A and B are shown apart, each in its own frame.
Chain A
Amino acid sequence: MEIPNLDYIKQLSEGDTSFEEKLIEVLKKELPLEIDSFQRNYREKNFIKTAESVHKLKHKISILGLSKAYENASLFEDELRKSNGISRYESFVKTIEVISNFLDPL
Chain B
Amino acid sequence: MNCIIIDDDAAARLIVSKLCNNHPKLNLVEEFENAIEAIKYLNGQEVDVIFLDIHMPTFSGFDFIKTLKNPPKIILTTSDKNFALEAFEYPSVVDYLVKPIVQERFEKAVSKLSGFTVKDNEEPVVTEDSTKELYVNVDRRLVKINFSEINVIEAKGDYIRIKTDGKSHIVHSTLKKIEDKLPQELFLKVHRSYIINLSKIIDIEDNSVLIKQDIIPVSRSNRGELMKRLNLL
Contact = CB atoms under 8 A, between A and B. Distances in A.
Contacts of A26: 10-11, 14
Given A55-B55, A58-B79, A11 B11 contact: no
Interface in A49-69: 52, 55-56, 58-60, 62-63
B76 to A, nearest CB: 15
A23 B14 contact: yes
A56 B11 CA distance: 10
A22 B57 CA distance: 25
Interface-central residue, B10, B79, B99, by most chain A CB under 10 Å: B79
Nearest to B101: A12
Interface residues of B, number: 18
Interface in A38-83: 52, 55-56, 58-60, 62-63, 74
A8 interface: yes
B55 to A, nearest CB: 6
Given A8-B100, A12-B103, A59 B18 contact: no
Interface string B90-105: 0000000001101100
A102 interface: no
A29 B102 CA distance: 23
Given A26-B10, A52-B57, A12 B15 contact: yes
A16 B22 CA distance: 11
A27 B10 CA distance: 9
B12 interface: yes
B11 A62 contact: no
Interface of B: 8-12, 14-15, 18-19, 22, 55, 57, 79-80, 99-100, 102-103
Interface of A: 8, 11-14, 16, 19, 22-23, 26-27, 29-30, 52, 55-56, 58-60, 62-63, 74
The 6 closest A-B pairs by CB, nearest first: A62-B100, A26-B11, A59-B79, A26-B10, A63-B100, A59-B99
15 contacts: A22-B14, A23-B14, A23-B15, A27-B11, A29-B10, A30-B9, A30-B10, A55-B55, A55-B80, A56-B8, A59-B12, A59-B100, A60-B11, A63-B11, A63-B15
